[in-house]
Amino acid sequence: MAYYKREGIYHCDFTVNGQRYRQTLETTDWREAKKREDELKARAREGKLASGITAEFSRLFFDLAADRYLAEVAVQRPGSLRPSAQKPGGDPRKSWEGDLIERLRPFFVGKRLNQITADDVRTYQAERIGRGKHPNTVNHEVKALLRLLKRAKLISRIRDDVKLLRVKKEAKAVLTEAEKQRLFETASSNPEWQTAYWAALLTSNSTMRPVELKRLLWKDIDPFKRLVIVRRSKTDAGSRVIPLNPEAWNAVAGVKARADALGTYTPESHVFHRLWPKVEPGRPMGGWRSAWRSLRKAAGAANQEKGWEELPKLAKLRFYDLRHQAITEMLEAGVPEGVIREIAGHVDPAMTMHYSHPRLAARRAAVETLGRAQLHLGGESHVTNHVTKRLTAGYENSQPIESIGTPGVIRTPDPLLRR
């Protein structure tokens, strides 16, 4: 008999393909026990049932399992860790994956991995949305949970019943040339915004992510070829070499001048290093969030002296939108998508299109080229000869109307065409 009873609870013990499986069936009913055992055997034949060390991992409480999982991720993907966590004895929770797991921990604490159900996940989603979290944020957290369950060979139990939340795609804020000029003119006007100004110039002219700027060392910049080497990023494709245009190079020159003045320039120093509470070139700065919020608010405000109207779009512009801006501008300029992916560090070609939101003016210009092409035709086209003339010949009882911009004519086609 493959299943047996212990302290009133049925357990199973069977072998599939030479691998032995032993685990509780969590029922006191022999009929339900038999049904669950058959299901476990079917999953074992498909390679979806944990055994041995993996089975032991699946029985761990969430806290301990999460810590082990993050330690494994730190070894497999060291580039995903924050610089402080890469030192000996660093905390593996200080990473992108660690941030997501930490948000899951309070909800699933006290639960074993093999006790987590699809209902638990749906309850978690509802709770997070109830707290005002964005659906995309909740989706990232649920994906982290699914990766943890996949490590424990438990994902097949809930995969079909767990659905990610729908995320409404919103158009990204793409700036016009005048708006860009206004933004950077404002950013350069206040010495307290220098770091944010230089970082914005680099991102908008190189597509570098904020985390890549913070990890950038002086040895990663080639002053002779004017190149920057991105060694660590959020993805494997993020490691890349990016040429610097004059605007980006001016930003590098500004940061270099500050480093020379502070005496912090060494090849191993961070380009954007910590300045407060003390100058530490060996540690990356926390960021420029406060400065960015201040300068974008100033850029979006009305200014009678400069003749600026209020621009709410600038006042709400996210720093990361500058990366979207750079990708969109390259797409509109006709740069091949493969080249853009190499510069931006995208793995999936679809990701490039996800981040690109061409302006309406660019699309309007594109369709207007079709009209200009027709004007340059020397003779009448196939459509004119075989379609337009045939339809015109059958038109009767025309009446004038007012069309967009120019007067036009609407005609009633003959009965044959009405069919």
Question: pLDDT tens-digit profile of 359-377?
Answer: 555 666 667 767 665 555 5
The pLDDT-based confidence of 352 (bands split at 50, 70, 90) is low
Q: Is the peptide bond before 281 cis (omega within 30 degrees of 0)?
A: no
Cα–Cα nearest to 77, from 62, 92, 65, 87? 92
Gap between the Cα atoms of 274 and 256, Å rounded: 15
Gap between the Cα atoms of 263 and 279, Å rounded: 10
Q: Where are the beta strands (DSSP E) in 231-343?
A: 240-243, 273-274, 280-284
Q: Where are the beta strands (DSSP E) in 17-173?
A: 19-24
188 exposed, middle or buried (CB, 10 Å; 0-12, 13-18, 19+)?
Answer: middle
304 exposed, middle or buried (CB, 10 Å; 0-12, 13-18, 19+)?
Answer: exposed
Model confidence pLDDT, tens digit, residues 313-346: 999 999 999 998 999 889 888 888 888 888 988 7
The pLDDT-based confidence of 255 (bands split at 50, 70, 90) is very high
Of the ranges 31-45, 273-287, 363-377, which one carries the lowest mean pLDDT score? 363-377
198 exposed, middle or buried (CB, 10 Å; 0-12, 13-18, 19+)?
Answer: buried
Helix (H, G, I), strand (E, B) or coil at 159: helix
Cα–Cα nearest to 345, from 72, 167, 94, 79? 79
pLDDT at 80: 60
Q: How many CB atoms are closer than 10 A to CB 384?
A: 13
pLDDT at 89: 58
Mean pLDDT to the nearest integer, 220-245 = 86
pLDDT at 92: 63
Contact 115, 154 (CB under 8 A): no
Model confidence pLDDT, tens digit, residues 155-185: 877 888 899 999 887 666 688 999 999 999 9
Of the ranges 5-9, 118-122, 250-254, which one carries the lowest mean pLDDT score? 5-9
Of the ranges 33-47, 49-63, 265-279, 388-402, which one carries the lowest mean pLDDT score? 388-402
* Burial 215-224, CB ≥16 within 10 A → b, else e: bbbbebbeee
The pLDDT-based confidence of 25 (bands split at 50, 70, 90) is confident
What are the φ/ψ torsions at residue 112 (nearest 5 degrees)?
A: -80, 155
User: pTM higher than 0.85, yes or no?
Assistant: no
Q: How many CB atoms are closer than 10 A to CB 43?
A: 17
Mean pLDDT to the nearest integer, 138-158 = 90
